[in-house]
Amino acid sequence: MKINLRINLPGADGRLTPYAVAGVPVMAPAPRGWNRVAYSAAHVVAAPLVDNNPWLDEDVDWERTIAYRHHLWDLGLGVAEAMDTAQRGMGLGWGGAQELIRRSLEAARGREGALIACGVGTDHLQPHAGLTLDDVIRAYEEQVAFVEGQGGRIILMASRALVLVARSPDDYLRVYDRILSQVKQPVILHWLGEMFDPALKGYWGSDDHMTAMDVCVDLINSHPEKVDGIKISLLSAEKEIAMRRRLVQGVRMYTGDDFNYAELIAGDQAGYSDALLGIFDAIAPVASAALTRLGAGDVEGFHTILAPTVPLSRHIFKAPTRFYKTGVVFLAYLNGLQDHFMMLGGQQSARSLVHLAELFRLADACGCLRDPDLAATRMTRVLALGGAA
């Protein structure tokens, strides 16, 4: 139903301009018949009413955080837990990640068919003089042991510490060979690009992504029984497709491309990508509806629903890309899925009011505001707090 709602929003020129809210949310049917595996990398909800140091402390609202996982499962999406969307290593330390993983796995066990995989890294390893590859291996092993001890599946994340100590591609292969030889179940590898985390520049031993890809593909194709798939987050459809076509049969490509996911999930005559996306946190109902269409063979319907979300995603993930989490949480707030716009590490301040206003327009345009009245009210509150109302 069309609504008659107007809101004053700031533009790039710094002026407030009336905006007519379209207010036509996409409604997700019961998920069924999907022919893609789809994970959403889920965010955490900060506890706002705690007397702490917001830039330093990691007080989580566990009730709302786990409720958000149930929201994703209800829509048919899997949960990629304790990833960078959850501010892992950027507000959420390993101690908090352990509690998050434990609670989420417990919640998943209470639901039939709830898909979940958990991030494993080396973020508890503090850089120091004399840091070695063996230190990196032990750090990975510690986190692997925790997740497997909780009965979880592993997403093997990129390591900042490994970038610091590796001197060649062989050093990366040594570390990953060791970890893959020990895991109990096939893992999902995650190659996170430097646009998401500048500390990961040069991963796999080269600043050139295609050269680095050679190393990563050789690793995967040497351990096909240990690798369920790989998520690459390089924001390049061409690189993802090139790598996808080189993977040994049975190893999945999970798109992490928040700029080109619609075309990559749809695929081509040579194959397709599954999904492990941060943007699916923000657009979960729309993604669910689109995947149901795709599973029914309605490729045109899939694109009709999902393609309009791409401008929103490109805006949320614009440079500096590592601040995308602010947009993800802001949309959860607009949609009433949490009662505040506070984040770990004070990251709610990482994007401008003008950026958030454009996010509102784009979310409205693609049907991602599930209650336009509520979203407009909350947008107005944020603008008022920032002195722009």
DSSP E strand stretches across 43-139 = 78-81, 116-120
* Under 8 Å between Cβ of 80 and 39: yes
What is the per-residue pLDDT across 54-66, written as a single tens digit (0 to 9) for each? 899 999 999 999 9
pLDDT mean across residues, the chain:
96
Closest CA to 116 of 156, 155, 67: 155
Q: Which amino acid is at 201?
A: K
Domains with residue ranges and CATH for the chain: 31-347 (3.20.20.70)
Band (pLDDT 50/70/90 cuts) for residue 197 is: very high
Q: What is the pLDDT of residue 1?
A: 42
Torsion of CA 124, 130, 133, 135, to 10 degrees: -40
Q: What is the pLDDT of residue 326?
A: 98
pLDDT at residue 22 greater than cutoff 50: yes
Q: What is the pLDDT of residue 2?
A: 47
Which tokens in the block code for residue 120? 């494993």
Q: What is the pLDDT of residue 134?
A: 97
Quote the percentage of the chain above a pLDDT of 90.
Answer: 94
What is the per-residue pLDDT across 322-374, written as a single tens digit (0 to 9) for each? 999 999 999 999 999 999 999 999 999 999 999 999 999 999 999 999 999 99
- Altogether, the residues listed in the chain come to a count of 389
Full-prediction pTM beyond 0.85?
yes
Closest CA to 271 of 249, 291, 287: 249
Compute the distance between CA of residue 357 and CA of residue 368 in angstroms, rounded to an integer.
14
Mean pLDDT of 162-191: 98
Q: What is the pLDDT of residue 128?
A: 84
Q: What is the pLDDT of residue 300?
A: 98
Q: If DSSP codes are grouped into helix, strand and coil, which group holds residue 190?
A: strand
Q: What is the pLDDT of residue 3?
A: 56
pLDDT at residue 147 greater than cutoff 80: yes
